[in-house]
Structures are given as C-alpha cells and as structure tokens.
Structure 1
C-alpha cells in the first residue's frame, strides 16, 4: 500500500497515451501506403530524442516540442518524398491526437475523485490542451516542461509539480511507465509508482520504487 499521498502526478506520453501508435498512424495518413512506417517512426522519435539530449547538454538553445515535432515531421516528409506544406503541418500536430490506453481516462478520473491529479509532460502546453480534448483525459492541472525550459529528467521539471502540490515532495506520487522518469522524480524526493505499458522503460533490479503496477486500477487500489 502507498500512504499519505495528496497529489498524483502522471507522465503523459507513453503512460496515459500510446505515443508510438499514434505517431505511426499520423505518419501513415501523411505519406500513404508503400512506406516503412516503423522506419519513419524511428526518424521522428530519433530526431526528437536526439534534440532533447542536445538541449540538456547545452548544445542547443531550448525549444518546445511544437518546434521539435515540426522538425521531425519535415524529416519524415523528406524521407518519404512528401513536400506538401499542409500535409507536413498536419503531421507536425500528431502528438495532439494520440490514443489513450484502455484504462487511462477512467483511471485518471477515478483517482481525481480522491487526490489532486496533475499531468507532467515534456509536451508543450499547446500539445497538452489538444491531447486532453482529443482523449477526454481530465486532470486538475497540466504542467509542461516548457515552464522550466528544460526536459525531463531535469530536476527543475519535477520541481514544477512539487511546488504546485504545496512543496512537500514526500506527499507527491509520480506515476510513469518509464523508469528513467521515476528516477528523475526520486532525485527531488518525490514518491514513485511504475505502471507497466508495452512502450515503457522497464525498471532494473536496482530500482526501488514505492510500487509497481500492471495498470491504473491496481494503482488506485494501492493508494490509501
């Protein structure tokens, strides 16, 4: 059981929504049949992850995910031979149309009846608004890494959630499908819960989280 929590903070991309499936679907819509959608998804994700790492190392000035997603869409278009600006622009907003996991909408709503529930994401505020509208996910507050001008796992991103929750990290539970994300939350004193997703980053034997769960219903049952 996990006790004495006042605020549940969810990672969004990967934990509440299936990011790879949604991006891949938008790529297929944009480029049409006859292309390797997995390879093109790799182009997209590779660019975003690489640029976020460059920003973290100080090799590039901070830009938000709207910019990174547009750059990724351009690169996918170049790889697939698609040049129509309207198609590229539509593809660049793919992160606003990601499908939620089957238990996500109900699970978040159920927890929101007992706790303050925040989304904490590397996604931009614009993307989070669009994603909430598209999926029906509803939280008390959506926090974007854009406010800290850094990307998780930078500690200043998690500090946004701790401050919004009242300042005591021991009363704040970070929930994610990515072990690296939970390690970042632990570094600022937050409690942590891993939720298994097919696209997540599994814990290692050395990871010590407050709980590990197969879905949000099991998480809800464990919070008292």
Structure 2
C-alpha cells in the first residue's frame, strides 16, 4: 500500500565571533576590524515523501534560508590588494525545490535521479557560482558471474551560473564511472577504479573575490585507483 509522509521544518542558528574572527584584521589592515562578525541563519522547509511500492521512494523537499552577516575575506578598503580583512556580507536569501526518485531491484541494481531548482540572491543580485538548475542521474549495477564487482555511473547537470565578473559560465554535463570489487585473495581488501569527467567535458568554475582570476579551468579526464582494507 502506498505511503505518504509530510514534514514541516524550521531552524535557527547564531554564531558569535571567535577570537580569530575579531582579531584577524587588527594588525594586517592597520586597525580596521569589521563590525557585525556574528552570523544568523533562519531556515524553513516542507518535505513530502511518497513510497508507491516496495524499494521505490519519491522525495520532494522545498526550502527557504535567510542568512545574515555571512563572513567573507575581502581586500582592504584602502586599495592595497595584498591586505585583506573579514567583512560581513549583505543578507543572503536562498530558496528552492527538489524532486528525486530512488528505485532498487532485488538483484542489486539501483537507479537514482534528482532535479533541483534554486534561487540565491544577495543584495538584489544573484549570488555568483549558484546555478539555477541542478540535475543528477546515478545507477549502480552488480556484474553477473563476477563476485562483488559493481559498476557505478553518475551523470550531473549544471545550468549556467554567474561569475564575480562577466561573462557567466555556460551549462555543462559531468559524468563519472566507478568500478568497485573485493580482492578475492586477501580478505577485507577492496579495490576501486574511478574515472572522473568520463566524457572529457571542457568546463570551468567561478572564483571568488579577491582572486585576480575570474574562472578556474577544471581538469580533463582523470583516473584514480584506490585500495582499502577493512578489519
């Protein structure tokens, strides 16, 4: 029988400045100490969970975050780029919604997918490095006749997002492949081969102020072999 659950969530947090936050700029910035070095966060959300059948789950959360006095390291206002100090940013409002589906089968295959819509504003301007849309598709499959060998594939989507200085970064897809297995000759030993950026996508990440670069080029296809031992 299908099961449906609804939740309403609310939270608030306050962070007072520590000694580092208060004294960080007192010497380096010629006595300029940022005011309001405390952080306030208020969050609210509605969550719906639906289970239409066994091993199938649908998850649909919405959220609203109100963040005040978020700290950032910024250049000294005197114009000397080598000097920095901590500064409380303008109020940040973040809101969004997500829809995700998770399905597993008795033989071990699992498929998960999600899509997010979000909007993050700061002082009536969209926040840099904050895509409007995010998507993800992930599936893992055990390989028949090969004990404990599993293939995991993940495809991610990022819509265009703002940089500190124009132009903006366009949308792109990223895919990762992961092979995992137990080493049969040594009990407890696990091995995995991970291929990041499988399709060799040319993509970039925005930087943050006061970095002199506007974007960072990201690496091409990379491979990583990992060994782990459980005891």
Per the normalisation by structure 1, the TM-score is: 0.23
Structure with the bigger percentage of helix? 1
Structure with the bigger percentage of strand? 2
Say which one has the larger Rg: 2
